Amino acid sequence: MTRLLIVGPQGSGKGTQGVRIAETFGIPAVSTGDVFRGAVAAGTPLGEQVKAIIEAGDLVPDELTSAVVRERLSQPDAASGFLLDGYPRNVAQVMHLDEFLEGRGEAIDSVIELEVPRDESIARLSRRAAEQGRSDDTEEGIANRLAIYERETAPILDIYRARDVVERIDGVGSLDEITGRIVAALEARGLGRGAAA
Ligand code: ADP
């Protein structure tokens, strides 16, 4: 059982590293951003509800987001653990997740904090905007998401730091180097590949 969060500013590479770490540890990577974008693309009722919010770079309401996460974590493949990317994103969502996990007698084993200097993350986001044309990667969308990160998401790290589960990882380097740093930090905690369930 490995229950992980990956937290970092937009452009920190947390989506890419999240997928790599989840594969290494044999657990599903759950990205709330991907879930919402998928719903928008598929035109589901959830997608209709969140489309304008996502495009503005604002947060989807906490109750809705937490309900989506609970539903996803209740699926059988998440019984052996999971990695959450993009959730929780504020203190209210931390409380929702705590309540859900406590109800199952579970807790987060580790929080990966990916550290990337602001200039670097902005440069990566502009590159992604040019390459992928994501609808929220406009100048305003990016600025809004970074501001929300500083104001609402960075503070959740203090909560997890008080629980002594945060691993701060240098997010500058090659993809393989960064993955290696994360795996080493988690293994030093007795988590992952070799660890017993
Ligand atoms: P980024 O990290 O670049 O902001 P994400 O893929 O994580 O990209 O999220 C894209 C958008 O999806 C967010 O701007 C927000 O509108 C919505 N979203 C994702 N996760 C959450 C969440 N936990 N709470 C509220 N909204 C969310």
Mean pLDDT of 98-123: 94
User: Is 159 domain-assigned?
Assistant: yes
Domain that holds residue 138: 2-30+79-188
Q: Give residue 193's pLDDT.
A: 58
Sign of CA dihedral 172, 113, 149, 137: positive
Q: So what's the pLDDT on residue 127?
A: 87
Within 13 A of 93's CA, how many CA atoms are on the CB side?
26
Mean pLDDT of 136-144: 85
Domain assignment present for residue 49? The answer is no
pLDDT tens-digit map of 60-80:
999 999 999 999 999 999 998
- Number of folded domains in the chain? 1
Please report whether residue 7 resides in a domain.
Answer: yes
Quick one: pLDDT band at residue 53, thresholds 50, 70, 90?
A: very high
Q: What percent of the chain has pLDDT over 90?
A: 79
For residue 140, what is the domain's CATH number? Answer: 3.40.50.300
Tell whether the model's pLDDT for residue 107 goes beyond 70: yes
Which H/E stretch holds residue 121? helix 118-132
> Does residue 88 form part of some domain?
yes
pTM over 0.85: yes
Tokens of 52: 């304008």
Question: Is 110 contained in some domain?
Answer: yes
**Is 105 among the domain residues?**
yes
Q: Which of 14, 20, 37, 181 is catalytic?
A: 14
CA–centroid distance, residue 21 to ligand 1 (Å): 20
User: Does some domain include residue 60?
Assistant: no
pLDDT tens-digit series, residues 155-195: 999 999 999 999 999 999 999 999 999 999 999 999 975 54
Q: 73 in a domain, yes or no?
A: no
- Can you tell me the mean pLDDT for 23-34? 96
| Euclidean distance between CA atoms 12 and 124, whole angstroms | 8
With residue 168 as reference, give the H or E element that holds it.
Answer: strand 166-170
Pocket residues: Cβ below 6 A from ligand 1: 10, 32-33, 36, 53-54, 57-60, 65, 86-87, 89, 93, 136, 145
Nearest CA to ligand 1 atom 3: 10
